[in-house]
Amino acid sequence: MRSLSALRQTSQGIAVGLVGILLAGCQSLPAPSDQPLGARLDASVRIMTSPESSARERVQAEADYRDLVAAHLPQLLVDATKTAQDKTHPPSAGIAVPAAYADIDPVRRPRITNPGLHRGGLGLPVVGRIASGGANAPRAGFQVPLTLVALPKPPATECCIAALMDPERIRSVQTAHGELPVAMDLEARLDATRATGSRFGAGLTNLLRPGHFAGRPRIVFLEPFDPDKIPLVLIHGLMSTPRIWTPLVKDLLADPEIREQYQIWFFYYPTGQPVPLSALQLREALDDAVRAHQPCKPMVLIGHSMGGILARAQVSRISLAEAGTIVPNIASLPKESLLRRALTFEPRTDVGRVVFMFTPHRGSRLASNSLGAWGIRLIRLPDTLVREIADVFDQVTEAAGGQLPTSIHGLSPNSRFLRALDRTTPVVPTHSIIGDRGRRRGGLANSSDGVVPYRSAHLTSAESEVVVPAWHGGFDNPLAVIELRRILRAQAEQYPRSSPRPDASLSRAH
């Protein structure tokens, strides 16, 4: 059974002229419901291609076609299997083998919240699930957008030649009545994926009881790994999960250029633990993913709120001497100790750019006021962490009032770790997107997103800075999305695809 990533790698570079599958039909009048399936499909196609059809008639014909294909899905998947295995036709970029998927679910009721993720046309959009995909796959497997196209053999009463297609690789099909675009629904895949999903309340649980986090903090891929795409790593903040990124992911993937150039990775971790420990876990999770998949292009990191602090630690250096300002006598600890590894680090060499979104580089007063104190009292760190630092417990807890520091301690303006990190300069280009809720007095310097003040979010070393009219959670603000797209396009220009995908058109064989 071939995986989708293998199919893509095999098909890259195949000339469009080699793509040929017999998908033919005959002219016919609209077929009544008691007619053979082939005649009914052909009637819908004829309406879709006729210049005399109104827009409403074409939309209805597309819907009728989808309903017909969905009603005969098992039979047509058998036909699609024959098409994919037919040795008389050369290998076709974008033709999938149904058996490669554990489940194939039709999109019966499309939900359109972002038009850029949809394309009207011929075919039934489906979501194919790849059950296993390695350590970085979502727990339920990858959800892959596909389109099932079926057309009758001549004469139109016979059925059917079908093909399961990647709608981003094959964008049109030549029928007996004319060429039609292949229908596409990328939003259904995003709604179905578990890469961004987690149970309700998981963000709060991961904050208050980080020791109950299931498994290790990890990198999760949205789609099967593609060596020719740039990894775009999204790092969530306090009391969050990767689910928060869903609106932004849809906005970014609605841009065909970004879809073509980037693959999205998520870092999922419990947010109640000390900030330096989370930064270490991100470093180790990235190491594991890079070692397993060997990406060819440098990663881009995007961190929201506390996630921006974790991202900054990946491209900064804190020496042993500097770490001594955070925890005295840290140099006496073994090099492999958890605390020393969390507080001393070198910048990664496989990150090309970082975007900070609403990031408190110098902390937030909310972390040190009564609300922050309330949160600190509720957090219960795991006993294993206490045992790890038993030898230096007094030094570690000195600045936290005798308590083991939590993430909330780490986001205070008094955090020694934040102060040490703020004395560093990232070694790669960085960009800041900062929120302003519109209640400032005294100019931009006194503005805030409601959680992080401008003075804390501003970085002198940033290559660009954009202030958007949004509260702290407004990372999907339209102006923020525009700025992200600009940054990502600029990065992609430096690392173009080695083999651009053809804009394929599936045509009839002659």
Find the mean pLDDT for residues 142-162.
86
Pick 418 or 33 by higher pLDDT. 418
Amino acid of residue 238: L
Instruction: Please determine, for residue 71, whether its predicted confidence score (pLDDT) is greater than 60.
Output: yes
- Pair 213, 278: CB distance under 8 Å: no
Range scoring the smallest mean pLDDT among 59-63, 224-228, 494-498 = 494-498
Q: Name the band, by pLDDT with cuts 50, 70 and 90, for residue 409.
A: confident
Instruction: Please determine, for residue 376, whether its predicted confidence score (pLDDT) is greater than 50.
Output: no
What DSSP state is assigned to residue 453? B
- DSSP per position, 317-346: -B-HHHHTTTSTTGGGS-TTSHHHHHH-B-
Instruction: Please determine, for residue 24, whether its predicted confidence score (pLDDT) is greater than 70.
Output: no
Instruction: Please determine, for residue 18, whether its predicted confidence score (pLDDT) is greater than 90.
Output: no
Segments of the chain assigned to CATH 3.40.50.1820: 195-492
What's the pLDDT score for residue 271?
87
pTM: 0.87
3-state secondary structure of 507: strand
Nearest CA among 247, 140, 231 for reference residue 194? 140
Q: In whole angstroms, what is the distance from residue 26 CA to residue 22 CA? A: 13
Please list the helix, strand and coil fractions of the chain in percent, rounded to the nearest 5, in that order.
40, 20, 40
What's the pLDDT score for residue 183?
97
- DSSP per position, 210-265: GGG-SS--EEEESSS--TTSEEEEEE--TT--GGGGHHHHHHHHTSHHHHHHEEEE
- Pair 165, 147: CB distance under 8 Å: yes
Which tokens sit at 167?
């709608």
Q: Order of strands, edge to edge, in the sheet holding 158-165?
A: 95-96, 158-165, 142-153, 124-130, 103-106
pLDDT, tens digit, 9 for 90 and up, residues 201-210: 788 777 777 7
Instruction: Please determine, for residue 267, whether its predicted confidence score (pLDDT) is greater than 70.
Output: yes
- b/e per residue 318-338 (b: at least 16 CB within 10 A): beeebbeebbeebeebeeebb
Beta bridge partners of 233: 265, 301
Q: Which CATH class is domain 195-492?
A: alpha beta
In this structure, is the dihedral angle defined by the CA atoms of residues 238, 243, 244 and 248, taken in order, positive or negative? positive
pLDDT, tens digit, 9 for 90 and up, residues 210-238: 777 888 999 999 999 999 999 999 999 98
Instruction: Please determine, for residue 508, whether its predicted confidence score (pLDDT) is greater than 70.
Output: no
In this structure, is the dihedral angle defined by the CA atoms of residues 192, 78, 184 and 37, taken in order, positive or negative? negative
Which tokens sit at 96?
């999938």
pLDDT, tens digit, 9 for 90 and up, residues 271-314: 888 899 999 999 999 999 999 999 999 999 999 999 999 999 99
Q: In whole angstroms, what is the distance from residue 176 CA to residue 167 CA? A: 20
